[in-house]
Amino acid sequence: GEYAGFNNLNGHNNVYMGYSCGKKNTVGSWNVFLGNEAGRENLDGNRNIAIGCNAFMNNLSGENNIALGYYAMSNNINGFNNIALGNGSLSNNINGNSNIGLGASSLLKMKNGTNNICIGFAALMTDTSGNYNTCIGDNVMIYSFGNGNVAVGNVALNKNIGNHNTAVGNAAFNNPNAPTNFENSTAIGFESYITASNQVRIGNAFVTSIGGFQNWTNISDKRFKQEINENVPGLAFIMKLKPVTYKLNYREIANYLNKKNYADLNSTNLQTGFIAQDVEKAANELGFEFSGIDKPKNEKDYYGLRYAEFTVPLVKAVQEQQLQIEQLKNENKALKEEINKIKKSLNK
Distance CA 84, CA 101 (A): 5
Measured distance between the N- and C-terminal CA atoms of the chain, rounded to whole angstroms: 133
Distance CA 26, CA 340 (A): 117
Q: List, as one string, the DSSP characters of 119-171.
A: ESTTTT-S-SS--S-EEESTTTTTT---SS-EEESTTTT-SB--SS-EEESTT
Angle at 50 between CA 45 and CA 55, to 5 degrees: 105
Closest CA to 216 of 202, 233, 226, 228: 202
Element (H, E) at 314: helix 311-347
Low-confidence ranges of the chain (pLDDT < 50): none
- C-alpha torsion sign, points 116, 120, 122, 124: negative
Q: What is the pLDDT of residue 78?
A: 92
Domain layout of the chain by residue ranges: 230-348
Q: Contact at 8 Å (CB) between 303 and 296?
A: yes
pTM: 0.85
Cα 108 → chain centroid: 22
State the number of CA atoms in the 13 A half-sphere of 77 facing the CB.
6
Q: What is the pLDDT of residue 39?
A: 87
pLDDT tens profile 290-309: 999 999 999 889 999 999 99
3-state secondary structure of 61: coil
Closest CA to 317 of 237, 230, 234, 231: 234
Q: What is the pLDDT of residue 127?
A: 95
Q: What is the pLDDT of residue 9?
A: 74
Distance CA 182, CA 163 (A): 7
Closest CA to 11 of 29, 32, 34, 30: 29
Q: What is the pLDDT of residue 129?
A: 95
Q: What is the pLDDT of residue 11?
A: 76
pLDDT tens profile 26-40: 888 898 999 998 988
Distance CA 133, CA 126 (A): 13
Q: What is the pLDDT of residue 132?
A: 98
Neighbours of 63 (CB within 10 A): 18
3-state secondary structure of 340: helix
Distance CA 104, CA 84 (A): 9
Element (H, E) at 285: helix 276-285
Q: Contact at 8 Å (CB) between 88 and 108?
A: yes
Query: Residue 163 contacts by C-beta under 8 Å, 6 or more apart in sequence?
Result: 146, 147, 148, 149, 183, 184
